[in-house]
Structure 1
């Protein structure tokens, strides 16, 4: 057995005010577990994405999350849960006025190949992107995550803990 207090797990750099990666803390081997707290305008992910082999489930404990999908937006309120099958594109946002608190589960633990799409100002549309962790002396914890367009190498987003400058829903 492994018992963990969520608030004791360190916050990670994400486009959400709080993301606590519980997988390692709980020593799970077959499922990824993340606790999220999204302020208005925050997102669960760095971009519109899909995973080759991992399905994702989001349980919204409080607030309302809106997920962009290939078939349109899906709203998930407090006490509701949504599942995305492997290969389904999605990105969840807090487009409301109150904080969203949610638990995300992904299985199997490995993603397989992932595809991340973001708007590229140089290419003029949504393109495939990749993420890179970088040293950033201006960041509170000295690190940032940066998204780059794979077509033209333009930076399409930069995040430090609890902040998402330049990234809008």
Structure 2
């Protein structure tokens, strides 16, 4: 058995600094079969760096306080939709379903919540796809991502192979 207080788990920030509080609970307790992260999002902050899909995990978000907004897009539909998730509500994304969760910049309060992923306690970087505008393709297309040795993200267009680092 392992036990910890959430406040005792060190804060680990996204390389793009899109949130100020993320506590990787699963890493702190040595989870192997699912991921669990605690977040506090100030107005304008997000759970992740943008619209993305995990092809190797389903993701579930529980909002404990505040209201999170999720931009969603299914893999076979280019129409994005926004869904509000209030305190006490849960939202699930299937593997391959694009999503981006955030606290609106004009919100009056912060969002406190948890992100869960399964199977596995960590996703494989090569199983994440982000939807980004590619200057070479002149369109919004899927980009693979990898974490560089410097702790930044390298994005690579799945259509043309154009690559760039986000720092």
What is the TM-score when the length of structure 1 is the normalising length? Answer: 0.77
Matched, 1:13 2:16: no
Provide, for residues 136-162 of structure 1, a one-character-per-residue CA deviation record: whole Å limited to 9, x for no partner: xxxxxxxx534534343244x43xxxx
Structure 2 matches for 1:4-153, cutoff 5 A?
A: 4-14=4-14, 15-70=18-73, 71-95=80-104, 96-109=107-120, 110-111=122-123, 113-120=127-134, 124-127=138-141, 128-135=143-150, 144-150=151-157, 151-153=161-163
Instruction: After TM superposition, give the deviation of residue 117 of structure 1 in Å.
Output: 2.2
How far apart are the structure 2 equivalents of 1:122 and 1:13? 30
How far apart are the structure 2 equivalents of 1:119 and 1:134? 24
> Which runs of no fewer than 5 residues in structure 2 stay unpaired?
74-79
Moved more, 74-83 or 48-57: 48-57
Contact 2:57 / 2:94 at 8 angstroms: preserved in 1? yes
Tell me how large the CA RMSD over aligned residues is. Answer: 2.1
Instruction: After TM superposition, give the deviation of residue 9 of structure 1 in Å.
Output: 1.2
Contact 2:148 / 2:154 at 8 angstroms: preserved in 1? no
Instruction: After TM superposition, give the deviation of residue 75 of structure 1 in Å.
Output: 0.6
Report the CA distance shift for 1:5/1:91 in structure 2 as closer, same or farther (over 3 A).
Answer: same
Instruction: After TM superposition, give the deviation of residue 122 of structure 1 in Å.
Output: 6.5
> Which runs of no fewer than 5 residues in structure 1 stay unpaired?
136-143, 159-169
Report the CA distance shift for 1:149/1:40 in structure 2 as closer, same or farther (over 3 A).
Answer: farther
- The aligned counterpart of 1:164 is none
